């Protein structure tokens, strides 16, 4: 935990204690060499200790999953697609565990919207029971991993593909990859996928969800 000083800078509790008690900080940060149970005897022993930690850490089962669970951005890991939920969300299996994944930067039609079933079918054709690489960018409020997904072994960028095929909008509110706007514009001009629908049926999913929330029960 960090605390704010009067100047606005952040200090953790140890730093704050050192700031107030210089004599005590000397003991905290500079153990005496004669305290053999505290001192590291040589650089060689320090290096050996570090190497041992790295080796044993690499042998731990599911260590990539631990990193994903911690929400580390840009953590990439292999997985197999078990189920396609809809046009932009998947259930994948990695390291013996199932995990929900939401495609980053894109938004496919919601269930009940025109083209929703076709968007889901298109994603099934691309990914069902296929191996993928998942690059985690964030975790959403439903605890899904928001990610870029690449199919293996051909490396197809699934997030870009669903936009290119006209099966999803670029998600304006959360988009990171600005190159997706060019793919959406081309799909619109070619009238592929959802862009072939009459204009009054091409309602962005975020607008549809907002209307649904405001609809009286």
Q: Looking at the structure, do residues 26 and 107 belong to the same domain, yes or no?
A: no
Q: Looking at the structure, do residues 26 and 122 belong to the same domain, yes or no?
A: no
Count of domains observed in the chain: 2
Helices marked H in the chain: 13-20, 22-29, 43-59, 63-69, 116-127, 158-164, 180-190, 205-214
Structural domain span for residue 176 = 71-214
% pLDDT > 90, the chain: 62
pLDDT in tens, 64-84: 333 344 345 678 999 999 999
Confidence of residue 217 (pLDDT cuts 50, 70, 90): low
Q: Looking at the structure, do residues 41 and 124 belong to the same domain, yes or no?
A: no
Q: Looking at the structure, do residues 22 and 52 belong to the same domain, yes or no?
A: yes
Q: Looking at the structure, do residues 202 and 121 belong to the same domain, yes or no?
A: yes
Q: How far is CA 44 from CA 47, 48, 51, 56, in A?
A: 5, 6, 11, 18
Q: Looking at the structure, do residues 83 and 54 belong to the same domain, yes or no?
A: no
Q: How far is CA 163 from CA 159, 170, 188, in A?
A: 7, 7, 10
pLDDT in tens, 165-206: 999 999 999 999 999 999 999 999 999 999 999 999 999 999
Active site residues: 102, 110, 144
Q: Looking at the structure, do residues 90 and 174 belong to the same domain, yes or no?
A: yes
Give the per-residue pLDDT at 53: 41
pLDDT in tens, 10-49: 444 434 433 333 344 333 333 343 333 333 334 444 444 4
pTM for this prediction: 0.67
């Amino acid at each position: 935990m960090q605390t704010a000083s009067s100047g606005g800078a952040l200090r953790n509790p140890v730093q704050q204690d050192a700031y107030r008690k210089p004599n005590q900080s000397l003991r905290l940060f500079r153990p005496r060499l004669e305290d053999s149970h505290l001192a590291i005897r040589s650089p060689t022993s320090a290096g050996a200790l570090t190497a041992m930690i790295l080796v044993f850490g690499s042998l731990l089962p599911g260590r990539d999953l631990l990193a994903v669970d911690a929400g580390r951005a840009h953590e990439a890991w292999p997985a197999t697609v078990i189920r396609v939920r809809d046009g932009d969300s998947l259930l994948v299996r990695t390291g013996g565990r199932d995990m929900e994944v939401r495609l980053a930067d894109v938004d496919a039609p919601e269930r009940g919207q025109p083209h929703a079933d076709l968007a889901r079918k298109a994603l099934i054709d691309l990914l069902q029971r296929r191996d993928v690489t998942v690059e985690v960018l964030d975790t959403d409020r439903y605890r899904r991993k928001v990610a870029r997904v690449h199919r293996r072994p051909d490396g197809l960028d699934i997030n870009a593909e669903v936009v290119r095929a006209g099966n999803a909008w670029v998600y304006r509110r959360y988009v990171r990859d600005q190159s997706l706007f060019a793919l959406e514009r081309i799909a619109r001009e070619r009238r592929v996928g959802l862009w072939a629908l009459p204009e009054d049926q091409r309602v962005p999913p975020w607008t549809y969800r907002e209307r649904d929330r405001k609809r009286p029960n």
